[in-house]
Chain A
Amino acid sequence: MDDSIPLKSAGPHDIKGVSGGLVLLSDMGQDFAASRDIDAALLKGIQRITDYVGAEAGALFLLEQDGGVLRCTACAGATEITGMTLLSDEGIVGRCVQTDTAAIVRDVAKDPNFQGAVDAQTGFTTRSILCAPLSVKGERIGAIELVNKADGDGLFVDDDLHLLQTLSTSAALAVLNARMAEALVEQERVKRELELAAEIQRGLLPDTPDEAFPVHGVNCPARTVSGDFYDFFPLDDGRICFNLGDVSGKGMNAALLMAKTASLYRCLGKTIHQPGRLLALINEEIRETVTRGMFVTMVGGIYDPRHGSVRLANAGHEPPLLHGADGSFVDFPADVPPLGISPMLTNGEAIPEVEISLNGGSLYVFTDGVTEGYLEDGSEMQTAGLKQVIIDHRSEPAAARLRAVISRIDLAGEALRDDLTLLVIDDAGPNAAREGPSEQPESTREAKENGAGEMVLHLKFTSQSDRLKLVRNAVFDTSLLCGCSEPTARDIVIAVDEASQNVIRHAYKGAPDGEVVLDISRENDDIVLHLRDFAEKVDVSKIKPRDLDDIRPGGLGTHFINEVMDEVTFIPLPHGIGNLLRMKKRIS
C-alpha cells in the first residue's frame, strides 16, 4: 500500500540505495509469496524495478515453453507492449537470454548491434538499454530490459546495470518459485483425482469374504490405479462365478478399460453361466469400443462347491495353476488370444472351456505381475517360484497363502514392477463337506443337466411378509400345472409358505431387503422345490420340529414342512453364500 514511498526517496546511486534495494527485494518476494496470480506479481515487480533504477520504461520477457519465442509478460512505462513476442535470439534481449549475460548499450546510436526490434513494433525511440537475464542455475527463464534513463542525459551507466542484475536474480527465483508452486498445485489436483479413481476401482473388487469361503483374491496396484482386476460372486444355485483379468498398460487408460471389463463381466455373469460364451461377448463389446492397441487377457470360470468342479475359459492369460491335494501341479494354457484383438472369437462362437476337477485342491489364477515380479535378490519369481511359495504355505488358509505370495514381491520401500493380482479357488473345505457323514443329495442342476427335470418356475422375491400371498398363489398354480391334485398342491403351498417364513424370520431376521429365490421343477413323478437365501448360514441342527404334546405358540412351521413333504434337505453350501433348502413331493 505504501510501497512507492521509500522507493522514490531512495536514489539508486547513494549508500541508501543498497538498503533501498534490499527493501525492494524483500517487498517483491512478499508480492510473489502472497499472490496466486504470477502475472499480477510480475507486473508489480517490473513497475517497482523500472521505478527504482529510474528508467523510462521496463519490460519483462519470458521464454515460451518451446524456448523459441520470448513474450513480454509485463511492462512499465509509456508504451504498452505486454504480449509482444520476439524470436528468442532476436535483439539485445534475445542475445542476453542466449548468452545468459547482462548487457548495457549506453548509447544505441553508437552500437552497431542495436537493431531496434522493439522500436520497430512500437514506435518508441530507444536511446539507452539495460538488459539482464533471468536464469536460475543455468535454466533460462527470460530477461528484464530497461530503456532510457529518466533523468540526466538519458543514458544508463554501469552501476545501473549492476543494480538491475541484482534485482533480476531475485526476480528469476521468484518466477521459478511461483511456477513450481503452480505445478505443485496441479500435481496435487491430478493426484487427488487419481486417488478418487483408485477408490472407485477398489469398490469394483469384491468384499473380503469369511476365511472359510472357498474363493479369495488380492490386488496390489503398481501405481495408484490398476489395470488388473478380479471378481467373484455366488449364483442362485450355490455355484460361484469368478474372473481375473489384466488390461495392457498401467495408466489411467488401462484403469478405465479395467472398470469397463470388470463391470461387463459382473453384469453378464449373473445371467450367463457359461464362461466361454461370456468372454466371447465381452470380446465383442471391447472390440467395438476400445482404443486401438489395447487388449485384455482374462480368465473366467464357474466353481461348483457341491462337486468340486470348475469350468474355465482362458483368453490369452497366464495359465492358471492347479495345485492338487496330492501335491501335483497342472496348468491350463490359453487356447485363444486376448480379448479386444481378434474378431475371430466373436463369430457367434464361445471361447473353449475346460472342465477341471479340483478334488480338494486349489486353483490359482494370477497376472504376469506375479510371475515377473522381482524377488528380494533381484531375480524374477517365475512360475517355479510361485509353486515353491504355494508348497511352502500349503497348510495355511487360502487367504494367508495369497498374502505369502504377495509378501515375496511387494517389498517394503520398493516400487512394484507391475500390478499384482491373484485369485485362489480352494476346494479343501467343500471337499471335506462332500466326503463327510451327511449324504449328498442330488441337486436340481444335476437333474436338469441329466435331462431328468424341467424347470417350471423361477421366482425371486424380497424377504417381506406381504410377498408370501403372491408366492402361495404361484406355488399352488405351478403345482397344479405339474399334475398335483388340489389337496397336494395345498400341502406344497403350506410347506413353501412356512419355509419362506423361516427365511424371513430366522435367516434374514426380519430385514426386508433380503433376496429369496424359489425354483420349482418337475423331475419324473416328483415335484422338486429349491428355496435359496443369501443370509448368514443357519444352524440346521437348531431347526427342530416342535414337540406336538407341548401346545405352545410358534415353532410349528418346520413340523408342517416335514409332515407334508416327502423329502426335506438342507443342501450344504460353503459359509458366506446363504442357505439352500430342497423339498420333494410325489406328484400322484
Chain B
Amino acid sequence: MEHEIIVRGNIVIAGFEGDVDIHTSPDARKVLLECVGRKMPVLVDLSRVSYIDSSGIASLVESLQTARKGGSDLALVSVSEAALRVLQLARLDKVFSIYISIDAGIEGIG
C-alpha cells in the first residue's frame, strides 16, 4: 500500500493506492489520524484502492469520529468498486459523505 498527502487550500487530501488489509491498515490508520490531527477537513481518495478489509474500514470510521469530535469533517472521494462493496456491506455508505471526485469533494466539504 502506498499513500500521498496533498494540501489544497485548507483541505487535506489523503490518497491511498493498493490493498488496505490487516497487514497495511495500521499504517493507513496512522496516516489518517495524522491528517485528522491537522484540524482541517480531510478528503480520503479511495480511487486506487484495490482492496479494503474490515480493519481498513475501522480505521476510516475511527478517523471520521476523531474529525467530528474535533469540529472538523472527513469525506471519501472517488471510491473504487472494491471499497464501495465493503462500505455497503458495513452499511457505512450512508454514514460517510462520498463524492465522485476530488473537486466535488472540495466543493462539498470546504
CB-defined interface of A523-557 with B at 8 Å, one 1/0 digit per residue? 00000000000000000000000001001111011
Q: Is the CB of A472 within 8 A of B23?
A: no
Residue of B nearest to A491 (CB): B85
Q: A494-B53, A501-B55, A557-B54 are in contact. Are A469 and B85 (CB under 8 A)?
A: no
A564 to B53, CA, bound (A): 13
The reply to whether A466 and B23 contact each other, CB–CB distance below 8 Å, is yes
Measured CB to CB, the closest approach of chain A to B75, in angstroms, equals 16
Check A497 for interface membership: any CB of B closer than 8 A: yes
Residues in B whose Cβ lies below 8 Å from that of A557 = 53-54
Per the 8 Å Cβ criterion, residues 79-110 of B in contact with A are: 82, 85-86, 89-92, 95
Q: Are A564 and B89 in contact (CB under 8 A)?
A: yes
CB distance from B69 to the nearest CB of A (A): 13
Taking CB atoms, residues of chain B closer than 8 Å to A498 are: 53-54
- The interface size bin for chain B is 20 to 34
A465→B21 contact, CB < 8 A:
yes
Known: A498-B54, A560-B89. A468 touches B59 (CB 8 A): no
**Cross-chain contact B89 with A469 (CB below 8 angstroms):** no
Q: List A479-498 residues whose CB lies under 8 Å from chain B.
A: 487, 490-491, 493-494, 497-498
Q: Judging by beta carbons under 8 Å apart, are B22 and A553 in contact?
A: no
CB atoms of B89 and A559 under 8 A apart: yes
**How far does the alpha carbon of A191 sit from the alpha carbon of B57 in the complex, in Å?**
64
- A567–B92 alpha-carbon span in the complex (Å): 24
CB-nearest residue of chain A relative to B55? A501
Judged by a CB distance under 8 angstroms, whether B61 is at the interface is: yes
**At the interface, yes or no: B58 with Cβ under 8 Å from chain A?**
yes
Which residues of chain A come closer than 8 Å to B55, judged between CB atoms?
A: 501, 554
A468 with B90: CB separation less than 8 A: no
Bound CA–CA A556/B62 (angstroms): 13
> Would you call A563 an interface residue if the criterion is a C-beta within 8 Å of the partner chain's C-beta atoms?
yes
Chain B residue, CB-CB nearest to A558 = B54
A130 within 8 A of B: no
Whether B90 and A559, one on each chain, are in contact in the complex, defined by CB atoms closer than 8 angstroms, is: yes
Enumerate chain A residues within 8 angstroms of B65, measured Cβ to Cβ.
551
A286 interface residue (CB < 8 Å to B): no
Q: A96: which B residues are within 8 A, CB to CB?
A: none
User: Given that A498-B53, A548-B90, A559-B89 are contacting pairs, would A469 and B23 also be in contact in the complex, using a CB cutoff of 8 Å?
Assistant: yes
The answer to the question of B17 belonging to the interface, with a C-beta cut-off of 8 Å to chain A, is no
Q: Are A548 and B91 in contact (CB under 8 A)?
A: yes
Quick check: is A399 within 8 A (CB to CB) of the other chain? no
State the CA gap A551–B86 with chains docked (Å). 14
> Which residues of B are at the interface with A, using a C-beta cutoff of 8 A?
19, 21-23, 51, 53-55, 57-59, 61-62, 65, 82, 85-86, 89-92, 95
Q: Which 8 A-B pairs have the closest CB atoms?
A: A553-B58, A556-B54, A465-B23, A557-B54, A465-B22, A553-B62, A466-B23, A548-B91
Interface residues, chain A, with chain B CB atoms under 8 Å away = 465-466, 468-469, 472, 487, 490-491, 493-494, 497-498, 501, 504-505, 548, 551-554, 556-557, 559-560, 563-564
If A466-B23, A468-B21, A556-B58 are given as contacts, then 7 extra A-B residue pairs at C-beta distance below 8 Å, sorted by A number, are A465-B23, A490-B85, A493-B51, A501-B22, A501-B54, A551-B61, A554-B54
